[in-house]
Structure 1
């Protein structure tokens, strides 16, 4: 049983690294359809340019309201390629 749990944990981690949006799903929804914690914009309605600008703004501290601190921690490790991949997957 312990081996199954370890394997499942490793598989989940691999999927999260392969898809940078995976860690966002719990708050923003599988398709970006939720207002995270009832406060954020619905990201599926954002243009790709707005989405990229928002995430880069969270990274450098120039964007965001109440969730600015929380989001900075979520996006700090994302590369430009990760951000663009997420925009292509979720935004218009």
Structure 2
């Protein structure tokens, strides 16, 4: 019984550490975004892009992937700066970033 509890606690601890690391990674990735989107994602970037704050992780990930693939446009315009940024990130990093921004 003690072994089962220890394994369960180890799993919870490892999951908590992973989540904390992902948040830290998301915060580090978001550092490049603050200039246009604001520290909390509430700024309208370049007077074009809507605020990031309040969007779900799924919405954000879809948009980030669209920028990376060149299929997402804002007001019928491509966003070269966003496309360049998104292309540098792996799909895992895009998800980490989207998950982090969704906490705003």
The reply to whether TM is greater than 0.5 is: yes
Segments of 4+ moved more than 3 angstroms: none
2:30 corresponds, among 18, 21, 24, to 21
Distance 1:67 1:44 in 2: 21
Q: TM-score, normalised by structure 1?
A: 0.72
Query: How many residues get paired?
Result: 76
- The SS at the match of 1:19 is helix
1:88 aligned onto 2:99: yes
Higher relative contact order (CA 8 A, sep 6+): 2
Q: Where do residues 1-92 of structure 1 align in structure 2 (5 Å cutoff)?
A: 19-65=28-74, 66-91=77-102
Structure 2: gaps (5+ residues)? 1-24
Q: TM-score, normalised by structure 2?
A: 0.65
Distance 2:72 2:37 in 1: 18
Q: Is the 8 A contact 2:67 2:79 kept in 1?
A: yes
Shift of 1:67: 4.6
The structure where helix makes up a greater share of residues is 1
Who wins on radius of gyration, i.e. which is larger? 2
